[in-house]
Amino acid sequence: MSGVISVIALISIISFILYFVVKRGNVNLREINKLIESGELEKAKNILQKIIYSKKSGPDAHFLMAKIYFLSGQYDYAQVELKSIIKNDKYGIFGHKDEVYKLLADSYLKSGKIREAYSHYLTLEQINPEEYNIMINLGKICLKLKEYEKSIQYFQKALKLRSTDPEAIAGLGMCYYHLNDFDKARDYLEQAVQFDRRNHSAHYYLALILHKKDLYDQAILEYEKSLPDKSLKLQSLYGIARCYQQKEIWTKAIQYYENAVNLIEEEADKLRHNYNKRIEFLTNPLV
């Protein structure tokens, strides 16, 4: 009985693969793309691997595989697939040239390879110089690279395409902050938070400016608004503590310093836990 069930299961799997892979003699990549978009990444990956290993795959199969790797956080593997497409200089229905370069640039961004991302976004700019997302990402990349004048140019280009975009306005504010033009920075940041009150980075930079001007109460309010962003939480807690210290409200200052220390200890515990798990795996890989 179990043998019959196994045969039936095998036939079902083969039928499933045939439905997705063979359709009038062609690879049915649209259905595979639907699987990816619905989050069934492993299922889509298994089908694509059969296509790629058969050596009958075109650029679209490699692009969809890169998409799966990207969504799975396997950015190095995604980059290999995308580079092979670029090397062959053949693009498909799903992976147009700009889509291939964009996914490659984004994979470099996600893996912290900012310079490589910058290089590919510059290629994208040549392909489509009127695309908002390209301009805003180039602005952000240049900001990370501390190339503030270039960053300003890209944020301004983004604003020409979307005149009230809070992300570009906030980006300009951050650039001018780093260029020590605090009045201009404050103007842009205040505009940005009017358009989008959830822009935590804009609130944080605004807090820094107000803090520098000894406007402690206003700075505290802005620091508090940036707290929901995990990447800014520690700096914001420290900023609030400093404000209370400078106001000589010692109990509040101590409270926020302690909150900052507790957060550091929590992060240290997480790192320690992950480190111990990694060591355990390396020393006892079969356990």
pTM assigned to the model: 0.78
Q: What is the dihedral of CA 70, 72, 77, 83, to 10 degrees?
A: -10
Query: How far apart (Å, rounded) are the C-alpha atoms in residues 83 and 120?
Result: 11
Query: How far apart (Å, rounded) are the C-alpha atoms in residues 2 and 281?
Result: 36
Tens digits of pLDDT across the chain (287 residues):
445 445 455 445 544 444 444 343 345 888 999 999 999 999 999 999 888 887 767 899 999 999 999 999 999 999 999 999 999 999 988 888 999 999 999 999 999 999 999 999 999 999 999 999 999 999 999 999 999 999 999 999 999 999 999 999 999 999 999 999 999 999 999 999 999 999 999 999 999 999 999 999 999 999 999 999 999 999 999 999 999 999 999 999 999 999 999 999 988 887 887 777 777 766 665 44
Q: How many CB atoms lie within 10 A of CB 76?
A: 10
Q: What is the dihedral of CA 191, 192, 197, 203, to 10 degrees?
A: -100
Under 8 Å between Cβ of 164 and 132: no
Under 8 Å between Cβ of 155 and 171: yes
Give pairs for 243-248: CB < 8 Å, separation 24+.
243/211, 243/216, 243/217, 243/219, 244/216, 244/220, 246/214, 246/216, 247/216
End-to-end CA distance of the chain: 35
Query: pLDDT at position 281, please?
Result: 60
CATH of domain 129-192: 1.25.40.10
Query: pLDDT at position 15, please?
Result: 47
Query: How far apart (Å, rounded) are the C-alpha atoms in residues 53 and 40?
Result: 20
CATH architecture for the domain at 21-128 = Alpha Horseshoe (1.25)
Residue 99: both structure tokens together: 């889509």
Q: Where are the domains positioned within the chain?
A: 21-128, 129-192
Q: Give the phi and the psi of residue 23 in degrees, each rounded to 5.
A: -145, 100
Query: pLDDT at position 283, please?
Result: 66
Query: How far apart (Å, rounded) are the C-alpha atoms in residues 89 and 87?
Result: 5
**Cα atoms in the 13 Å half-sphere on the side-chain side of 35:** 22
Query: pLDDT at position 14, please?
Result: 46
Residue 17: both structure tokens together: 């693969």
Tell me, what amino acid is at 84?
S
Which residues sit opposite 26 in a β-bridge?
23
